[in-house]
Structure 1
Amino acid sequence: MRDLAIRAINAARQFGASYVDVRVMERTAEGIEVKNGRVEGVSNATSSGFNVRVIVNGAWGFASSARMENAEAERIAQQAVQIARASALVAGDPVRLSALPPQKGSYRTPMHTNPFSVPLHQKVQLLLDADAAMQSVKGVAITSANMEYSREHKFFASSEGSEIEQELFDTGAAISATAVDPDSSEMQTRSYPNSFGRQAGTVGYEFIEAMDLINHGARIGEEAVRLLTAPQCPSGLKTVILDGPQTALQVHESCGHPIELDRVLGYEAGFVGKSFLTTDKLNGHYRYGSNVVNLTADATVPGALGTFGWDDEGVPAQRTPIVAEGIFSGYLMSRDTAPLIGLSSNGCVRSDGWNRLPMIRMTNVSLEPGNWKFADLIADTADGIYMSINKSWSIDDRRLNFQFGVELAYEIKDGKLGQLYKNATYTGITPQFWGSCDAICGPDEWTVWGTPNCGKGEPMQVMRTGHGAAPARFRNVQVGVGRWS
């Protein structure tokens, strides 16, 4: 890997590049799908290649190839330079990079058990057993269980003298049960530990074992069946308590995406739009939320899905305040966007493959824990709704107006959980919603939620992002059908 990268850097410099970086990557992923008691598929794929990114005459150029040969390294370097020269003919202000000392080192995801070393039949049997536990519940019509794990080996080198090798693993799994009413054909689904894919982290197979999928199977099957006969969630202004995973998704959509500086500056609007958090709001006075709301972007959280040693520009992983006691205080930045607001990159650039341009992506954007116990939070709520696990979402292209639906909700009455509700939704406007947050559970109930398929760009790139959160309470939230509150 190193020899190929150094050859490409030298060639690009000879062709006229003022800056060069090269990423050589190999990614292997294996997935297992089980549905209704049968193995639907087992996949195993490996993709490898390299890319060259250059600056010539103040403009970027990028080219990539799957042929990892010396002659190809020189050809791709020349192609990247030619693209940059062409781009410079129509470019605006020249690219400026924030300062970065040469980086040297290596990083490997800490783990106890490499998921690839666990026998395939053992992993398949775990999913079949979890599926059988869901199938044991009368009224459950559709069951599914999945597992996916990957290894990414990559080498980064730059003309500034950086040389970095990383080996990153991510591991995840999930189960879901769907109940169907035979008369009305209504369907209700419960998921564990999360919906829409799987819960994942930068850890080993021990992460899946800790999920205890088999022992949760019957529970989520029973909840899916109960939802069929549950009443609709009532509408109106309510006090809402969101569970950890739902709070984390709220962070992802209404904070994580709008703090991506390329989106703020209008450089990137593909797939999820622009941002309401414009640069004039980075003045130390813009109120994003209440005083209890503290948000950070931290690529060093152990086991979280957005954790690494260095980003794909060679910037070290770090922790950045985003909201401090409710006041907006920071963005996710790259080396070429940070100087535009007088700052330096905080290491938030990644690419989903060797043939894709790196771009600003979320690391672990998290809501810092408060000091409440969940039981005390429920007991302190006289009248409200507890909502758990995402079912649907809609948010405008500035990440301002939103609506979320959840799989399951409970009435809170006189400090106790009561009636089960189905089809619960809530709506809001981001700063008003976070401004209504008056309580967050403490570190013991703070967990890291990981989504492996966050989309951005055109063509869309997916990325593995993490979000730490604990259950949180919000006052005067519009629940059910209603106007934006």
Structure 2
Amino acid sequence: MKRKDFLQWSAMGLGAFMLPNIPAFGRSIDPLEALHEGIDVKLKKELSDVALNAAKAKGATYADVRIGRYLNQFVLTRETRVQNVANTESYGVGIRVIANGSWGFAATNKVTKEDIARTAERAVAVAKANSRVPADPVQLAPQKGYGEVTWKTPIEQSAFAVPVRDKVDLLLKVNSIALQGGANFVNSGIFASNEQKYFASTDGSYIDQDIHRIYPQFNVTKIDKASGKFETRASFSSPMGMGYEYLTPTPESKVSGLVTRYKDRYDILEDVKNATADVTQKMTAKSVEPGKYDLLLDPSHLWLTIHESVAHPTELDRVLGYEANYAGTSFLTLDKWRSGNFQFGSKLVNIVADKAQPHSLGAVGYDDEGVAPKKWELIKDGVLVNYQAIRDQAHIIGLKESQGCCYAQSWSDVQFQRMPNVSLQPGKDTLSVDDMIKNIKKGIYIMGNGSFSIDQQRYNFQFGGQTFYEISEGKVVGMLKDVAYQANTREFWNSCTAIADKRDYRLGGAFNDGKGQPSQSNAVSHGSSTARFDGVNVINTARKIG
């Protein structure tokens, strides 16, 4: 899975990606198998102790073991028919050790005491082989053991317990609304995941976790038969760390505005009705005139800009150059942080990392190194103040403990630094979106994420969106199309002049943030309220250059 895969999700162009028997997802199973409980937690502890003892016996100075069961369900429809229903399960054990000052890792899908012991021994052998390559010994930040603890995503209803028929009925109703509204094509889907993870380490932790996520999606297309031109609009849903209750909206979850939006619940039927009206309006929308505009960016759009221009460049391993061969480095080099006064953005810009944020994709009780997650500042009053670091990186930036942002996409992958939820904090003063619109003379209000491009240092970028509304003299005067804005990261965030208050705060996110070699995917959310950015360069994506 590549790091831009989530754009395919936005268009629901999932195709073979959603089929069963893909190695990343494991074996195909019957939907009812997902409801079976995994192995008893006492047995998990016994198996873990086998791994830890075998590793220490072979010379490991540190060891951790992850026993994981990963469940996924995909339900896909198009117009009046079901395209695919896939249920997968992946199950096995990953063991990581330090021996002779170096890391070693090995994994197995044979969950017996004998195979686990052999796997632990193999991990130590890998570490000792790695130690022959000259390098500084691994320095792990101290971490207390938590003993035997459990954590579960606080869900109301597991998505896996909802019959597939009910999901199909809902999705076909979504499609019917779009078709009745004049759409020519519509596809929709629901993806649910459940990570059942057990972590144990020589530090004395035995942690059992049950993590749930869900992502409903659709894409509506309308064609002008006379010209052959078409317009599309994807759903304004967000992937969430929730159960099926995400699809049962409440009046309290509504956010008023130009388009009805939702905080921690989602009304897919209302959204598809609005989306069908939007694509009709987009057919006759005015093509944007290039130039400088004040941009009003909705959280359904801004999450992706945060992800690419803030969350990625503050990953410490990227700063250190470890990602250079795959997905680039970062312009936020250590000298900028050490200066203590690098003005990343305006004084309104406060960005935090938080892997415990409720309902977020990244929410866990403990990371994949057995560290309880924290909340910390990355950008404070516009100034770069910190990065994202795990146990073997903490000493590099003078931290005495990990920030709890280590993750592996499966039991068969080694855990490493992955971004936590990274979010722009709401404005401190009372300010609504309507208030913000009144103060804009020439601007564009952008909703939803679209295509984007950003350079290898996360500095120069271009972003599109789903829907665009022209603002003139403090009023929304109509819809635009062919809009994309260009800037560099520092210039853009320093142009932030207003942020709506916490009433407008919402989460967006991606299920498929890719990183590392071999590549792994991470699920992560990014929150914000609607924010204003002044004097940003807007281009017309339909016009030829030159």
TM over 0.5, shorter chain:
yes
Distance 2:127 2:365 in 1: 29
- Paired residues of 1:177 and 1:191 also in contact (CA < 8 A): yes
Unaligned runs of 5+ in 2: 1-43, 250-265, 542-546
Structure 1 residue 126 and structure 2 residue 181: aligned? no
Instruction: Show the 5 A alignment for 1:219-368.
Output: 219-269=274-324, 271-283=326-338, 284-343=340-399, 344-368=401-425
Per the alignment, residue 206 of structure 1 pairs with 245
Distance 1:412 1:278 in 2: 38
Which one-letter code corresponds to 1:82 in the other structure? A
Structure 1 residue 454 and structure 2 residue 497: aligned? no
- Paired residues of 1:134 and 1:218 also in contact (CA < 8 A): yes
Structure 1 residue 107 and structure 2 residue 166: aligned? no
Deviation digits for residues 33-58 of structure 1 (CA, Å, limit 9, x no counterpart): 11122111111111110111011111
The TM-score normalised by the length of structure 2 is: 0.85
Structure 1 residue 192 and structure 2 residue 235: aligned? yes
Query: What's the secondary structure of 1:201's corresponding residue?
Result: coil
Structure 1 residue 53 and structure 2 residue 90: aligned? no
Distance apart, 1:270 and its partner CA:
5.2
Which one-letter code corresponds to 1:101 in the other structure? K
- Paired residues of 1:287 and 1:328 also in contact (CA < 8 A): yes
Query: What's the secondary structure of 1:434's corresponding residue?
Result: helix
Change (3 A) 1:360 1:185: farther
Instruction: Show the 5 A alignment for 1:424-439.
Output: 424-439=483-498
Which one-letter code corresponds to 1:385 in the other structure? I
Residue 158 (structure 1) aligned to one of 196, 201, 209: 201
Q: Identity over aligned residues, as a percent? A: 36
Per the alignment, residue 217 of structure 1 pairs with 272
- Paired residues of 1:137 and 1:222 also in contact (CA < 8 A): yes
Instruction: Show the 5 A alignment for 1:364-375.
Output: 364-370=421-427, 371=429, 372-375=431-434
Distance apart, 1:223 and its partner CA:
1.0
Which one-letter code corresponds to 1:311 in the other structure? D
Change (3 A) 1:420 1:242: same
Distance 1:91 1:209 in 2: 56
- Paired residues of 1:273 and 1:398 also in contact (CA < 8 A): yes
Distance 2:82 2:122 in 1: 45
- Paired residues of 2:304 and 2:509 also in contact (CA < 8 A): no
- Paired residues of 2:317 and 2:417 also in contact (CA < 8 A): yes
Distance 2:326 2:524 in 1: 16
Distance 2:294 2:333 in 1: 30
- Paired residues of 2:288 and 2:540 also in contact (CA < 8 A): no
Deviation digits for residues 376-416 of structure 1 (CA, Å, limit 9, x no counterpart): 00011111111111110000010000000112111101111
Distance apart, 1:225 and its partner CA:
2.3
- Paired residues of 1:348 and 1:360 also in contact (CA < 8 A): yes
Deviation digits for residues 338-366 of structure 1 (CA, Å, limit 9, x no counterpart): 11222131001101101111111122100
Structure 1 residue 379 and structure 2 residue 438: aligned? yes
Which one-letter code corresponds to 2:230 in the other structure? M
Distance apart, 1:191 and its partner CA:
1.4
Q: Paired residues, what number? A: 477
Per the alignment, residue 42 of structure 1 pairs with 85
Distance 1:53 1:459 in 2: 16
Distance 1:248 1:318 in 2: 20
- Paired residues of 1:449 and 1:467 also in contact (CA < 8 A): yes
- Paired residues of 1:59 and 1:91 also in contact (CA < 8 A): no
Structure 1 residue 420 and structure 2 residue 479: aligned? yes
Deviation digits for residues 311-349 of structure 1 (CA, Å, limit 9, x no counterpart): 001110110111111011111111011112221310011
Query: What's the secondary structure of 1:266's corresponding residue?
Result: coil
Which one-letter code corresponds to 1:132 in the other structure? S
Distance 2:174 2:534 in 1: 38
- Paired residues of 1:177 and 1:220 also in contact (CA < 8 A): yes
- Paired residues of 1:7 and 1:74 also in contact (CA < 8 A): yes
Distance apart, 1:430 and its partner CA:
0.3
Which one-letter code corresponds to 1:114 in the other structure? S
Structure 1 residue 116 and structure 2 residue 160: aligned? yes
Which one-letter code corresponds to 1:326 in the other structure? G
Which one-letter code corresponds to 2:206 in the other structure? E
The TM-score normalised by the length of structure 1 is: 0.96
Distance apart, 1:459 and its partner CA:
2.2
Which one-letter code corresponds to 1:399 in the other structure? R
- Paired residues of 1:136 and 1:218 also in contact (CA < 8 A): no
- Paired residues of 2:483 and 2:540 also in contact (CA < 8 A): no
Which one-letter code corresponds to 2:499 in the other structure? I
Distance 2:409 2:423 in 1: 22
Cα-Cα RMSD? 1.3
Distance apart, 1:163 and its partner CA:
1.4
Which one-letter code corresponds to 2:87 in the other structure? N
Distance 2:418 2:80 in 1: 37
- Paired residues of 1:4 and 1:69 also in contact (CA < 8 A): yes
Distance 2:367 2:153 in 1: 14
Segment drifting more, 217-226 vs 8-17: 217-226
Residue 440 (structure 1) aligned to one of 499, 511, 514: 499
Distance 1:242 1:37 in 2: 35
Segment drifting more, 336-345 vs 408-417: 336-345
Query: What's the secondary structure of 1:25's corresponding residue?
Result: strand
Deviation digits for residues 64-97 of structure 1 (CA, Å, limit 9, x no counterpart): 0111011111111111111111111114111100
Residue 411 (structure 1) aligned to one of 459, 467, 470: 470
Which one-letter code corresponds to 2:460 in the other structure? N
- Paired residues of 2:351 and 2:423 also in contact (CA < 8 A): yes
Residue 24 (structure 1) aligned to one of 67, 71, 76: 67
Residue 401 (structure 1) aligned to one of 460, 468, 473: 460
Deviation digits for residues 112-162 of structure 1 (CA, Å, limit 9, x no counterpart): 112122222111111110111111122x22201110112111111111212
Query: What's the secondary structure of 1:200's corresponding residue?
Result: coil
Unaligned runs of 5+ in 1: none
Distance apart, 1:271 and its partner CA:
4.0
Distance 2:180 2:168 in 1: 18
Distance apart, 1:267 and its partner CA:
2.0
